Structure 1
Amino acid sequence: MGLVEFSNVDWQDKKVAEFATYWNGLGREQGLPYQSEFNPAKVRHLLPGIAIYELKPNGDILCRLMGTGLSEQFGWDYTDHNFLELWAEEHHDIVRESFKTALSKPCGIFNKMHGISETGIVIKANSVGFPALDGDGNAVRLVFYSATEEPNVVREPRRDKVIKIKTQGQCFVALD
């Protein structure tokens, strides 16, 4: 998982690239923007794919907000849940360390993800997350945008919920 220059990332999706470009243009106090500098009105059409996470002192990753589009794809809303619960236990430390790296370096995270439903259907997505300061100036938040691809099979998300996530490739993104 190397550090890739922002201009060299192949975002795979126009909306992912748009979110990344918007985020990269935000002001940076202490090297990072405050989450409050994120203006939803400027990227209104992307809001259904937005999720905000907070790295807690105990190592949990709390989902503070999940966009409606993600909730619909997942078949449930995992706001207020520990994001690590969606990953196989042997990947918890890797995911946690990726979040810590993005917050401390600071840098973005770009992932090619697979969500796996209860019946084994795979939902592919591209996801990018960038670090942000909370209201107290602590670097504990990551704001993600995810764009999912439609699976080649019919799936009713509310009856066939996404229960696991795997990454199919990840890189860290240098902030300009």
Structure 2
Amino acid sequence: MSHDLVNFPFEDLGTETHWKREGELLHRFNHLPYGEAQERAAILAELFAQAEEVIITPPLAIARGHLIRFGRKVFINYNAQIAAAPGAPITIGHHTIIAPNVQIQTGTHPVDPTERQKWAYCAKGITIGNNVWIGASAIICAGVTIGDHSVIGAGSIVTRDIPSCVLAGGNPARVIRELTPPDESTLYALNP
């Protein structure tokens, strides 16, 4: 098993105290009528470690929102599943767009059958850079870093790091081609 994974024994499952409050907030968020942007933003501010100028279309499923940080002007479409674990946070950069049905999961299970009997699960953090677009139904697995300005194709399963300024896709996701790097001095001029 990788030494940089955080391991959790079965005895620790269910001992966390945040579940009830997080569940109540998620229920409120997912059942608000459309047009309640201010109340939705207030709930997001309570659910996540950082969520300034973030728009999320319900329904949303999360685990341990207090370990998830968003940059500014992030948009997440419906049916997102975002699950962090203790010691394995999730960071999503500024101006990132996440399409419907995307899963971002820091938790995994040991492949070795003996290890799997010792540990309920293991986890490793995920970092998604600035100005990334993740296509519909993509899955971002534990330990992955996606570089700035990259695009992840719809339905891709990202199991390893993706560099900046590339189009990646497939199962497992691989770099398909490089993208032209943006002019950083003017990139956000229309949408600061």
Task: Judge same fold: TM > 0.5, yes or no.
Answer: no
Specify which structure has the bigger relative contact order, considering alpha-carbon pairs within 8 angstroms and separated by 6 or more residues. 1
- What's the TM-score once normalised by structure 1's chain length? 0.27
- What's the TM-score once normalised by structure 2's chain length? 0.25
The structure whose Rg is larger is: 2
